Structure 1
Amino acid sequence: MSRPPVPREVHVRAPGKINLALAVGRATRDGYHPLATVFQAVSLIEEVTATAAERFSLTVDGLHADRVPTDDSNLALRAARRLAEHVGIDDGVHLHVRKGVPVAGGMAGGSADAAAALLACDTLWRTGLAREELSELAATLGADVPFALLGHTAVGRGRGDLLTPALSRGEYHWTLALQDHGLSTPEVFRTFDDVVGGVGDPVPDRALLQALGSGDPDAVGAALSNDLQPAALELAPHLAETLAVAEDAGALGVVVSGSGPTVAALARSRQHAVAIAAAITAAGVADGVLTASGPVPGARVVVGERAGVPHVGDRG
């Protein structure tokens, strides 16, 4: 039986994430903070096309594309090079990234790019790595990259890269308030150290996990939490008004996502998410608003479609 032809290009989609809960511990001697977080992958999607090439290169379009580096500092390009080194091949690749996740918004768009690039290049080069090995490689690139491979809902421990899938029933609808100026994750953590300090060994939020397991959106909204939120508000005080407008619009819960500055509001339904988006827009407390739903799968190869066609992300 003849083998199928080697693909000339591969298309992969990977999701952004929201931290439904983020507990942060006291910084250790190496400067890292132990985390206990609950991730949910949402329908804002990064699309990566990997095309066979002699050299490594990258282009970008889509949401906030002008803010994304295309040199060797780009995480997707680093992921491709890391895989090539890991398996010992000399092939190059051209990566084209179409962004659907806000840049520097605490939603791990760059990590999604890296996860998509790993899977796309693994498929393109036929290196045949198991998902477990890809996940181990992903963890060397960044703490959020393994979750972008896994998707759905999961508990993250350690630096956020030690994952355990979490039971989550039902579909959740989100309004995401964006800011043009991102927050530096290292600066947010430094401010956290100054303002809050953290505990020794953070644990996952049991009430949130129970609410997700029972599919109770009201209880999920009540349990949303983020230890980094006070630090984000210290650096960007105007986010307090964004949180307040979403609450006044009837959100079941509102939280700064990850290190911010994106504000995530949980809605009762898709229509309610659009209504919250309209309220935020009318109040002028965000530079952009998107709606999304979750949980969604992690990085996956798209067969029979080209990257760049409309995806399942909702736009408010």
Structure 2
Amino acid sequence: MLDRLELKAYGKINLGLDVVRKREDGYHEVRMIMQTVHLHDRIVMEKTKEPGIRTETNLPYVPDGEGNLAWRAAKLLMDEFGLSEGVDIKIRKCIPVAAGMAGGSTDAAAVLVGMNRLFGLGLGKKELMRRGVKLGADIPYCILRGTALSEGIGEILTELPPAPQCHVVLAKPQISVSTKAVYEKLRVDALGPEAHPDIDGMAAAIRAGSLDGVTARLGNVLETVTIPDHPEIGAIKRIMLEHGAEGALMSGSGPTVFGIFKDREEADAVCGILRETDNGRLTRQVYLTRFFNKKPAR
């Protein structure tokens, strides 16, 4: 049996994000096209004879202990299976924090997978996903990975073929955004039809292998809330579009913006431009990555 594991927790972007309605229980019903990217956190998990869970991160503002979603993921399985041994979890963050890229959720997803392997719990992927949704709506997708249609509160997932490969520039401005606050401010009934992205059309473009079809349908209804409050998000989108991006969009509730490029040189160039704009005051973090695609099921 394993005593130590190293895992990669991959970030995600939303190629399309629509909010259908606010439910009576306070949750919002969504339809989203989710895509994993290669930018990832690194997680080292080590079994200990001493009981309990210890978490450690490389960023002082990321909480340890019960305030960390990865800690709660380990606790969920530890309690369910009555594990007497403990686990040390070291998380090296690379995915921007509070940025619309599911950084906390993907760390928790990796810890669920890691606990299952370290302690030989024998859970399948779907069983892990059912447990993950108790902690957060994005966690089942972060376990699944790849390209998927996400519905309900985010827990109803339909796998799609791998999205057409491209270069992806990620840029996080010098702000953080509260997902809860964005959804509280959103007024779905007040939105016109043009605010809602064509999720079905994007899924069809992915099935057809058309990157142009995907970029033509990029859309995120939460931009109607976040961009008016944080115009730097719109400024980053404009820079990307003016310098060769096929399309650009805010991911999740923001504030990270991604641009899709066919040409690697143009993608590299816009990274430099974003880092230098306003002497680096516009963007805190800029990355060049690609889609993380799983092999199609046979």
Q: Calculate the TM-score normalised by the size of structure 2.
A: 0.91
RMSD, aligned CA: 2.0
Aligned to 1:110: 104
CA deviation profile, 1:199-254 (whole Å, cap 9, x unmatched): 9xx89712211222222222211111000011111221221111111111121111
- CA shift, 1:179, in A, is 2.1
Aligned to 1:175: 169
Q: 1:122 and 2:107 equivalent? A: no
Q: 1:212 and 2:206 equivalent? A: yes
* Paired residue secondary structure (1:219): helix
Aligned to 1:296: 293
- CA shift, 1:196, in A, is 4.5
- CA shift, 1:195, in A, is 9.1
Aligned to 2:5: 10
C-alpha distance in structure 2 between counterparts of 1:203 and 1:237, whole Å: 21
Aligned-partner residue type, residue 272 of structure 1: E
- The change in CA–CA distance for 1:204 and 1:36 in structure 2 (over 3 A counts) is farther
C-alpha distance in structure 2 between counterparts of 1:194 and 1:296, whole Å: 32
Where does structure 1 differ by over 6 angstroms across 4 or more consecutive aligned residues? none
Unaligned residue ranges in structure 1 (runs of 5+): 1-5, 299-316
How many residue pairs get aligned? The number is 288
96, 120, 138: which one aligns with 2:90? 96
Aligned-partner residue type, residue 290 of structure 1: Y
Contact 2:147 2:163 in 1 (8 A): no
Alignment map for 1:258-269 (pairs within 5 Å) = 258-269=252-263
Alignment map for 1:35-114 (pairs within 5 Å) = 35-53=30-48, 54=50, 55-61=52-58, 65-114=59-108
Contact 2:197 2:218 in 1 (8 A): no
Contact 2:162 2:294 in 1 (8 A): no
Alignment map for 1:150-299 (pairs within 5 Å) = 150-193=144-187, 196=190, 205-284=199-278, 285-297=282-294
Q: Percent identity?
A: 32
Contact 1:11 1:49 in 2 (8 A): yes
C-alpha distance in structure 1 between counterparts of 2:192 and 2:91, whole Å: 36
Contact 1:15 1:45 in 2 (8 A): yes
Q: 1:149 and 2:146 equivalent? A: no
Unaligned residue ranges in structure 2 (runs of 5+): none
- CA shift, 1:117, in A, is 0.5
- The change in CA–CA distance for 1:180 and 1:219 in structure 2 (over 3 A counts) is same
Aligned-partner residue type, residue 176 of structure 1: L
Aligned-partner residue type, residue 260 of structure 2: L
- CA shift, 1:295, in A, is 2.9
19, 24, 32: which one aligns with 2:19? 24
* Paired residue secondary structure (1:230): helix
C-alpha distance in structure 1 between counterparts of 2:62 and 2:190, whole Å: 31
* Paired residue secondary structure (1:34): strand
- CA shift, 1:116, in A, is 0.6
* Paired residue secondary structure (2:73): helix
Question: Which structure is higher in RCO with an 8 Å CA cutoff and minimum separation 6?
Answer: 1
CA deviation profile, 1:111-139 (whole Å, cap 9, x unmatched): 11001101111111111111111110111
C-alpha distance in structure 2 between counterparts of 1:124 and 1:198, whole Å: 50
- CA shift, 1:197, in A, is 5.5
Aligned to 1:313: none
